[in-house]
């Protein structure tokens, strides 16, 4: 029994031991599985923690970094400017790109279409409501108003319609509206230049590398405003159909002012097809009349055929040339000196000098001046002089400005050369870098002689430009009264002046199209007050030129030795 019992005990003991072994082994397995799970949790935790840290660092860096436009380049509101600014010679802004909006409508978002149309009709009576209603009913996205100004945008915004969408874009604005309409030109909806300076310098104005550097013109906004104001006054005073003026430095060709009337607001995009809006200075081609007499006298002096005091005798009242009969407007003495021929503006006297010069030499002079070729300037609106043949009487008629049609820009450029010492200059709207290639057309001595005669045209008792004798500015010049080459029922009155004539710096051309007698205007003529009765350049273009020079002289800071000696030196003595 004991043996059996001890066996049973042994079995029980072994069984107990076995059971204990299995349990321990199972615990080890469980511990191992637990450790694996725990490791995975740690790994996932570490990964999530790393991601959180990375995103936190990124957010911190972005929040600390100063936002730049380049980050938001896909948002058109924050785009960099697509075109450079344009400024005048003093840095005054004349053209810039700004953020603007088109107003569009999504009909699907308009809940009450009838109410919407009523609000549009009240706030925008100029819009075609029937057309808008039709588009609303079609249910397609459409533009209700393009190129909004700030006032229109605020009106539309105040309507509170979800269906109204404001599309941002870059708009080109011109800060002086009409003032530079014939120079700056315009850009299209895609910011490409289509006319004027905007077209000529299109690539340069879109150059991203110099976007922060404005394009600087030679123009002076203050002077441009004064001249434009005086020309507008001339249109009313003389009931002219048009007017134009050009102010240019005679030594470097820099244009300080170029104005042509009527002009137009270049901020308003519309097609201009009426020829009256042509740029009269650069594109208009005209017979400018007696201003050409200056060229004839200069050439006669240059060829040493005469001197200013040489007397031309037996000047007839009329002369027949081929089938034409040429005469003077009024009767002059039979004997006139060369300078008197220009001072009094004698057609016959000038014609006789041209015959002394001869056709070949006159042809060569005209060729040198480049008067028969299209002028160069940084705009594309340029006119080409009319072609002609040197037939009978062509030399005689050209000598006093008939039978040859050129642009006022060319005429002013030639006057600049005649008065600056004889050097032909290149007109420009951009400051010249470096020296220009100088072409000599007359000698310096001839230039000085001509300047003295031009001064006498203004100061002499028999001169035709007395109304331009503005004290202190030493003005010289020549008048020209002619008919329009394409319409002889209309006249053209021109005055080209240089000042100060002793040491010329500027040339000013003033032109009036088809002016009338200003019967109500009282002139201060040589100390007398007289009423207007005549319709010649000396009584309108010269009068306006005098008013302009008087106002712009202080801005140009003209130093007149004659004025200085009379007033300052006298004061100290």
DSSP secondary structure, 368-425, as one string: HHTTTS----SSS----PPP----TTHHHHHHTT-S--B-HHHHHHHHHHHHTTSEE-
Walking along the chain (573 residues) 10 residues at a time, the average pLDDT comes out as 46 42 51 64 77 81 52 48 95 94 91 90 90 91 88 89 90 94 91 94 95 96 98 96 97 96 88 85 94 97 97 93 84 95 96 96 94 91 89 91 94 97 95 75 97 97 94 95 70 96 96 93 86 90 97 82 47 39
* Residue 433: predicted pLDDT: 63
- Pairwise CA distance, residues 399 & 322, whole Å: 16
* Residue 4: predicted pLDDT: 46
* Residue 202: predicted pLDDT: 96
Residue among 85, 76, 135, 87 at smallest CA distance from 110: 135
- Domains of the chain, by residue range, sit at 2-65, 76-178, 225-264+280-572
Q: Give tens-digit pLDDT for 250-294.
A: 999 999 999 999 999 998 877 777 888 999 999 999 999 999 999
300: left (phi over 0), alpha (psi -120 to 50) or beta: alpha
- Pairwise CA distance, residues 517 & 524, whole Å: 16
- Would you say the pTM of this structure is higher than 0.95? no
State how far Cα 266 lies from the chain centre. Answer: 10
What CATH number is given for 225-264+280-572 in this structure? 3.40.710.10
Phi, psi of 92 (to 5 degrees): -75, 130
In contact, 401 and 480? CB cutoff 8 Å? yes
Radius of gyration for the alpha carbons in the chain, expressed in angstroms and rounded: 41
Instruction: Name the CATH superfamily housing domain 76-178.
Output: Penicillin-binding protein 2a (Domain 2) (3.90.1310.10)
Q: Which long-range contacts (CB under 8 A, 24 or more apart) does 130-139 make?
A: 132/105, 135/105, 135/107, 136/105, 136/107, 136/110, 137/107, 137/113, 138/107, 139/107, 139/108
Residue among 334, 330, 337 at smallest CA distance from 314: 334
| Helix (DSSP H) and strand (DSSP E) numbers for the chain | 18, 18
Q: Reduce the DSSP state of residue 361 to 3 states and report it.
A: helix
Can you list the positions of beta strands (E) in 187-241? 215-216
Q: Give tens-digit pLDDT for 8-27.
A: 444 444 443 444 444 455 55
* Residue 304: predicted pLDDT: 97
In contact, 295 and 365? CB cutoff 8 Å? yes
* Residue 427: predicted pLDDT: 95
Residue among 239, 256, 238 at smallest CA distance from 247: 256
């Amino acid at each position: 029994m004991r043996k059996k019992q001890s066996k049973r005990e042994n079995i029980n003991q072994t069984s107990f031991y076995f059971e204990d072994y299995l349990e321990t082994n199972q615990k080890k397995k469980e511990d191992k599985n637990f450790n694996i799970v725990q490791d995975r949790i740690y790994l996932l935790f570490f990964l999530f923690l790393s991601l959180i840290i990375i995103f936190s660092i990124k957010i911190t860096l972005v929040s600390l970094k100063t936002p730049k436009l380049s980050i938001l380049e896909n948002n058109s509101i924050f785009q960099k400017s697509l075109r450079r600014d344009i400024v005048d010679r003093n840095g005054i802004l004349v053209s810039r790109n700004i953020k603007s909006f088109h107003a569009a409508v999504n009909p699907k978002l308009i809940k009450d279409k009838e109410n919407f149309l009523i609000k549009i009709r009240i706030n925008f009576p100029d819009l075609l409501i029937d057309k808008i209603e039709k588009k609303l009913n079609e249910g397609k996205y459409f533009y209700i108003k393009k190129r909004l100004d700030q006032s229109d945008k605020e009106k539309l915004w105040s309507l509170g319609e979800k269906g109204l969408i404001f599309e941002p874009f870059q708009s080109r604005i011109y800060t002086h509206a009409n003032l530079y309409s014939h120079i700056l030109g315009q850009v299209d909806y895609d910011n490409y230049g289509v006319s004027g300076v905007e077209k000529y310098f299109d690539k340069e104005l879109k150059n991203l590398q110099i976007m922060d550097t404005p394009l600087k013109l030679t123009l002076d906004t203050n002077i441009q405003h004064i001249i434009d104001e005086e020309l507008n006054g001339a249109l009313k005073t003389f009931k002219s159909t048009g007017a134009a003026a050009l102010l240019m430095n005679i030594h470097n060709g820099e244009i300080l002012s170029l104005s042509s009337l009527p002009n137009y607001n270049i901020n308003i995009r519309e097609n201009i097809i009426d020829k009256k809006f042509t740029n009269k200075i650069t594109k208009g081609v005209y017979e400018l009349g007696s201003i050409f007499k200056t060229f004839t006298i200069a050439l006669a002096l240059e060829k040493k055929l005469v001197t200013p005091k040489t007397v031309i005798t037996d000047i007839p009242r009329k002369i027949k040339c081929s089938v034409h009969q040429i005469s003077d407007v009024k009767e002059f003495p039979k004997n006139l000196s060369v300078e008197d021929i220009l001072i009094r503006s004698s057609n016959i006297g000038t014609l006789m000098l041209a015959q002394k010069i001869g056709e070949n030499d006159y042809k060569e002079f005209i060729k040198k001046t480049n008067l028969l070729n299209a002028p160069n300037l940084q705009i594309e609106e340029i006119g080409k002089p009319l072609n002609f043949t040197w037939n009978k009487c062509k030399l005689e008629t050209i000598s006093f400005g008939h039978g040859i049609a050129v642009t006022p820009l060319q005429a002013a450029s030639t006057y600049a050369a005649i008065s600056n010492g004889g050097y032909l200059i290149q007109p420009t709207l951009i400051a010249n870098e470096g020296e220009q290639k100088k072409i000599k057309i007359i000698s310096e001595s001839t230039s000085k002689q001509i300047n003295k005669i031009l001064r006498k045209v203004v100061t002499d008792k028999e001169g035709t430009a007395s109304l331009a004798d503005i004290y202190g500015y030493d003005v010289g010049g020549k008048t020209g009264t002619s008919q329009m080459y394409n319409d002889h029922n209309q006249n053209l009155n021109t005055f080209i002046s240089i000042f100060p004539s002793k040491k010329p710096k500027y040339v000013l051309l003033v032109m009036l199209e088809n002016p009338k007698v200003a019967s109500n205007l009282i002139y201060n003529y040589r100390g007398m007050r007289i009423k207007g009765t005549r319709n010649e350049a000396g009584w309108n273009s010269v009068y306006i030129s005098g008013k302009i020079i008087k106002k712009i002289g202080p801005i140009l800071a003209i130093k007149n030795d004659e004025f200085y000696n009379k007033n300052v030196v006298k004061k100290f003595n």
